Amino acid sequence: MRTQDMNRDWIATARTLSQALPYLQRYTDAIVVIKLGGHAMGSDEAMEEFARDVVLMQQVGVNPVVVHGGGPMINAMLDKLGIESTFVGGKRVTDKPTVEVVEMVLSGLVNKRIVQAINAQGGKAVGLSGKDANLIVCEQTHADLGFVGTPDRINTAVLHDMFRSNTIPVIAPLGAGRKGETFNINGDTAAGAIAGALKADRLLLLTDVAGVKNAAGEVVTELTAAQIREMTAEGVIAGGMIPKTETALDAIGRGVRAVVILDGRAPNACLLELYTEHGAGSLIREVPKT
Ligand SMILES: Nc1ncnc2c1ncn2[C@@H]1O[C@H](COP(=O)(O)OP(=O)(O)O)[C@@H](O)[C@H]1O
Ligand SMILES: CC(=O)N[C@@H](CCC(=O)OP(=O)(O)O)C(=O)O
């Protein structure tokens, strides 16, 4: 590269940083809940980049909370063990042996991979599941789904303590039942419940598609509740996208300012969304009352 071109690159970098000022100011002290889906967890390099973005967000004043999924990793382990599983409305029908595998994979392998990646970037991440400190107390969602839980109470105090000590919570979506059960929670549902209880400024749902697509396959950049209901009824929103859009509406109803469904595999997805004019994915927010 010629010296002049190199200078141009540095000038562009400085300009980008300078243009980020209003966004940096807007998100100072903001709570941003980031849900990292199993399909968005790629290579070690992609995980390193995700971790660097989370640490950077914290460095510039955000309180990030990471909630993860791990569906594909659970499937791989269930396959190895010869346990079959089925999904109803994007949720895994979970019997006793299955919930044991879910806990082992989510709280163990997946959670620690993310914790280690953040710590390697100079952050202070602590991994916990919804069972730790009764972070997520659940009710059974439906008898037909077995040990699948719907969050009922969130212990936000433990998260605020972590914010005060600059600790980044990394949360596996398992919940404590009132009778000592362990519940499997869909990762999106867990992230939405936490974001709602914290009245987060942003909930970012990172997945493996660019956003919510319409019947023509185009990403809809801004979605209303009515559009979501219609697209779900028509079957355009299906499978794993159902819990995401349900979560988005529920979180908005609980006081989250905005939810974005975006491609977690895209480079610097979170930074692009928070700190640039460009934004990313599909935005769902409360429609101001007229
Ligand atoms: N309307 C839609 N727009 C985009 N993706 C959709 C839509 N309907 C269903 N999907 C599916 O939802 C998937 C995302 O959900 P899921 O596989 O559970 O992701 P994650 O593991 O990231 O939580 C997409 O890969 C896509 O196959
Ligand atoms: C009840 C339920 O379906 N739980 C999910 C939890 C993991 C998850 O949600 O993973 P993704 O975010 O990668 O899809 C499951 O067992 O697969």
Going from N- to C-terminal start, the domains of the chain cover 26-285
Sequence-ordered list of residues with C-beta below 8 angstroms from that of 226, at least 6 positions apart, any chain = none
CA distances from 134 to 100, 103, 124, 157 (A): 18, 15, 21, 11
pLDDT confidence of residue 11: 87
Does 180 count as an annotated binding residue? no
> If you ran DSSP here, which 8-state letter would residue 180 be given?
S
Binding site membership of 239 for ligand 1 (Cβ less than 6 Å): yes
Class of CATH domain 26-285:
alpha beta
pLDDT confidence of residue 86: 95
- Nearest residue to 219 via CA among 149, 282, 159, 270: 282
- Nearest residue to 168 via CA among 30, 47, 67, 65: 65
pLDDT confidence of residue 109: 96
- E strand or H helix at 22: helix 21-26
- Nearest residue to 171 via CA among 79, 180, 155: 155
Token pair in block for residue 266: 């895209």
CA pair distance 74, 89, nearest whole angstrom: 17
**Exposed / middle / buried, residue 111 (Cβ in 10 Å: 0-12, 13-18, 19+):** buried
Ligand 1 atom with the smallest distance to the CA of 212 is 3
pTM over 0.90: yes
Q: Which ligand is nearest to the CA of 99?
A: 2
pLDDT confidence of residue 2: 57
Token pair in block for residue 44: 């070690």
Question: Over its length of 290 residues, how does the chain's per-residue pLDDT go in tens digits?
Answer: 555 666 778 888 888 888 889 888 999 999 999 999 999 998 999 999 999 999 999 999 999 999 999 999 999 999 999 999 999 988 999 999 999 999 999 999 999 999 999 999 999 999 999 999 999 999 999 999 999 999 999 999 999 999 999 999 999 999 999 999 999 999 999 999 999 999 999 999 999 999 999 999 999 999 999 999 999 999 999 988 998 999 999 999 999 999 999 999 998 999 988 988 777 899 999 765 54
Binding site membership of 69 for ligand 1 (Cβ less than 6 Å): yes
Sequence-ordered list of residues with C-beta below 8 angstroms from that of 186, at least 6 positions apart, any chain = 69, 90, 91, 92, 148, 173, 243
Binding site membership of 261 for ligand 1 (Cβ less than 6 Å): no
pLDDT confidence of residue 4: 63
Atom 11 of ligand 2: nearest residue by CA position: 69
pLDDT confidence of residue 288: 57
Predicted-assembly ipTM surpassing the 0.90 threshold: yes
Token pair in block for residue 9: 């690159």
Q: Which ligand is nearest to the CA of 39?
A: 1
- E strand or H helix at 182: strand 182-184
Token pair 């819990």 is at which residue?
243
Does 184 count as an annotated binding residue? yes
Atom 7 of ligand 1: nearest residue by CA position: 237
